[in-house]
Amino acid sequence: MTRFQQQVVVVTGAGSGIGAATAKRFASEGASVVLVGRTAEKLEKTLSTLAQGDHLIAPCDVAAADQVQALSDAVLKKYGQVNVLVNNAGVIVQGRIDKISLDDWKKVMSVDLDGVFHCVHYFMPALLKSKGNVVNISSVSGLGGDWGMSVYNAAKGAVTNFTRSLAMDYGEDGVRVNAICPGFTFTDLTEEMKSNQQLLNKFYDRIPLARAGQPDDIASAVAFIASDDARYITGVNLPVDGGITASNGQPKQA
């Protein structure tokens, strides 16, 4: 498929996991992809996996507004347009709130929430010109609660509602805004869990499809929601979670 031929797609957190898989998917469908992340070496690794094209490595900390502004200027100088913005960069801090430091709170909010705001703020003028769209990577944690994840849930819950509000604000301008809400997915953030089969089984007992998601599963959903195949969809927070949000939280019965 070449759904994104002659389009420019910006993907944050593109150095690994969902971001890397998403960048690869867009490139395979003809896009010029801007790979955004804090570590140039990781972005180089992702670049090596992409289909040939006019791609750009752009080291940037999305938590820093001045860096995102400079990023948007550089992208527009090179390409003259932006068609899709994928806000994927994120961090996780786990623990009950009485054990979480103020620095932990600020760390999560600065990347997972402020980073989304910064990117939307600085890229929206270009998206208005192209009548493009934004895809935020939220989480099923932004749709409901989890034990020991209150800070992460707060950030993703904000992204979920930010997505709805942006869709309302910019729909008449032809800009669509949606979010993908992954469930339990194997990425660098969950790497340590792969060796704990007992813990994995507890997760699988709550997932109707009985497996963890893979980055490619999420990338496929991102590509769909950003494409013209989804041209009448906006303001949606789409769970891509193997069915876990379809249940009432009870584990599978023997």
Annotated catalytic sites, by residue? 152
Task: Let me know the angle formed at the C-alpha of 71 by 43 and 223, rounded to the nearest 5 degrees.
Answer: 60
Distance CA 250, CA 89 (A): 31
Alpha carbon of 125 to those of 7, 69, 129, 146, 216: distances in Å?
A: 16, 12, 7, 36, 30
Q: Looking at the DSSP assignment, which residues form a beta bridge with residue 11?
A: 35, 86
Task: Let me know the angle formed at the C-alpha of 15 by 13 and 17, rounded to the nearest 5 degrees.
Answer: 80
Distance CA 254, CA 252 (A): 7
